Amino acid sequence: MDTAHATATAPRGAGERRRTAAVDRYRTLDVHDGAFDRITALAARIFDAPIATVAFADGDRLWLKAARGVSAGLTEVTPGPGLCAAAVLQDTSYLVRDALTDPRTSGNPFVHGDPGVRFFAAAPITTADGHRLGTVNVADTRPRDATDEQLTALTDLASLVMDQLEVRLGAYRTVAAERELRSRAESLARTLQRTLLPPALPTVPGLDSAAAYHTASADQIGGDFYDLFPLDDGRWAFFLGDVCGKGAEAAALTSLTRYTLRAAAIYDPDPRAVLANLDAVLKGEYQGGEPRFCTVVFGVLEPAEDGGFTVTLASGGHPPAVIVRADGTVETAPTPGGQLIGILPAPRFASTRTRLAPGDALLLYTDGLTEARTRIRAMLGEDGLTAYLTAVAPQGADDVLAAVRKLLEDLGRGVTDDTALLALSVPTRDTTVPVQENR
């Protein structure tokens, strides 16, 4: 055994800085499963002593990672001379037979005050590269001796603590590395997703437009998409939809869907024909594997004499578009019976025609909105959305979008899916007539 003289003064300099860094590396590890409690229990039993602790020495502080026989909740202490602070400077075990008479511990408050330590033994917790992080300690309130076997066992327990720390640090690093990889993959998928949305909507003469993508969760991207683009005959086409699934696979399906819709619109812009083309392409692409589908509303805008537009809409499995009329009434553009695209043997696509007069606004949305669960966990649904828009009575695309975004914010965590929004409106032509009082 080693009872060589040691001072309680911690050495300073580069070596101590490296040691402190090593302590920090392990000290922050959470060991809450009782592994160190079993170590202190064993140490106490081996020495038949009432007090045992696992302590890390960090500069002039001691951190108790496990302790028995001391005040509950004690996790951090200022060490006095001659006990842990001295033991951590030793390469081997450390022994004080009677602290009251031992000159090394003469100024220690734990000796002269509570709990009145008389006997103290410790073994250093040493890293593979030789840094002593702290000590496993046993103490008694009466003076006594320790056998070589007991001190060897204490050294073994200190090695066990080190093994535990290494295992946990390894696991922690693996988890951290995996988390980093996953977050990088997610951010890549999200970047890809952004490239699938038009950076800005084109300016359509006589039409206001606004769009938004509401992200429900940072760690899984959805596959919502929208677009607005000119046809070569003076008409305009738009679409909004949602693909099944999440993540990179959804992003790939979104890309295929968006590209196909634009290509199909050039070939034959009839909305139902566009959806049928998309259906054929998806079935060809995902033959054999797990089927993939999307839901889409596709529309064509044709300028009308009165400055408004005639809108032809077709839906494949998508919630109906909502129209906020100039007088504040809210209605849906029903497309009942339209089926999922890309997954059913002979799907039907429903179409409808409506007019957008000056002051009217059309809202397309994906189901993150209507599947949003309100606080009572009931789904908001189309009725909820219609009632909300009726109460708020927004006017124009920007106003409609702002109202719905506010609704999404209010629903907060109830929105569990990404939501895409596209609003189109016809500006009121006569701006000399006050539209409405300030709201």
Partner 1 sequence: MTDRVLTATTHAHPAGPAVIAVEGELDYYTAAHLRQALQETAFTAEGIIIDLTDLTYCDSTGITVLVTAYHRAQASKAPLALVGLNPDLNRVFGIVGLHDVFASYPTVDEAIAAL
HEC readout, 146-190 = CCHHHHHHHHHHHHHHHHHHHHHHHHHHHHHHHHHHHHHHHHHHH
Of 360, 367, 399, 418, which one interacts with partner 1 (CB under 8 A)?
367
State both tokens at 86. Answer: 């001295």
Residue 364 contacts partner 1 per CB under 8 A: no
User: Which of 219, 306, 409, 410 is the binder for partner 1 (CB under 8 A)?
Assistant: 219
Distance (Å, whole) CA 17 – CA 79: 19
Q: Which of 80, 82, 245, 396 binds partner 1 (CB under 8 A)?
A: 245
Query: Helix 148-195 vs helix 14-27: angle between axes, to the nearest 10 degrees?
Result: 70
What's the min distance (Å) between Cβ of 282 and partner 1?
A: 12
Q: How far is the CB of 439 from partner 1 (least distance, A)?
A: 32
CA 190 to CA 247: how far, in whole Å? 8
Which H or E run contains 262?
helix 247-267
338 binds partner 1 (CB under 8 A): yes
Q: Does 344 bind partner 1 (CB under 8 A)?
A: yes
- According to the binding rule CB under 8 A, does residue 395 interact with partner 1? no
> CB-wise, 235 or 348, nearer to partner 1?
348
- Whether the Cβ atoms of residue 20 and residue 59 lie closer than 8 Å to each other: yes
Q: Are strands 294-303 and 236-243 parallel, antiparallel or unpaired?
A: antiparallel
Q: Which range touches partner 1 (CB under 8 A), out of 154-162, 227-235, 338-346, 399-407?
A: 338-346
Residue from 293, 298, 309, 365 binding partner 1 (CB under 8 A): 293
Beta strands across the sheet bearing 94-96: 76-77, 61-68, 51-58, 132-140, 119-126, 94-96
Q: How many whole angstroms separate alpha carbon 264 and alpha carbon 273?
A: 8
Tokens 């504040």 correspond to: 328
- What would the x/- binding string for partner 1 be over residues 308 to 337, using CB under 8 A? ---------xxx----------------xx
Euclidean distance between CA atoms 393 and 399, whole angstroms:
9
Name which of 27 and 373 has its Cβ closer to partner 1.
373
Q: Which stretch binds partner 1 (CB under 8 A): 6-14, 169-177, 274-282, 291-299?
A: 291-299
In eight-state DSSP terms, residue 414 is: G
The CA radius of gyration of the chain, in Å to the nearest whole number, is 36
Among 61, 246, 355, 405, binds partner 1 (CB under 8 A): 246
Is 257 a residue that touches partner 1 (CB under 8 A)? no
Backbone φ and ψ of 184, nearest 5°: -70, -40
- Distance of alpha carbon 242 from alpha carbon 225, whole angstroms: 6
Give the number of residues in contact with partner 1, rule: CB under 8 A. Answer: 30
Strand partners, 230: 236
Which of 1, 273, 379, 402 is close enough to bind partner 1 by CB under 8 A?
379
Establish if 192 lies at the interface with partner 1 (CB under 8 A).
no
Q: Which of 148, 290, 430, 437 binds partner 1 (CB under 8 A)?
A: 290
Write the interaction track for partner 1 spanning residues 129-148; mark x where CB under 8 A is met and - where it is not: --------------------
Tokens coding 317: 């499995």
Residue from 291, 328, 384, 427 binding partner 1 (CB under 8 A):
291
Do residues 44 and 51 touch, judged by C-beta distance below 8 A?
A: yes
Beta pairing partners, 309: 303, 356
Cβ–Cβ < 8 Å for 164, 31:
yes
- If one asks whether residue 248 binds partner 1 (CB under 8 A), the answer comes out as no
Q: How far is the CB of 316 from partner 1 (least distance, A)?
A: 8
220 near partner 1, judged by CB under 8 A: yes
By the rule CB under 8 A, 347 interacts with partner 1: yes
Q: Which residues bind partner 1 (CB under 8 A)?
A: 219-220, 242-246, 290-293, 295, 317-319, 336-340, 343-345, 347-348, 367, 371, 379, 381, 417
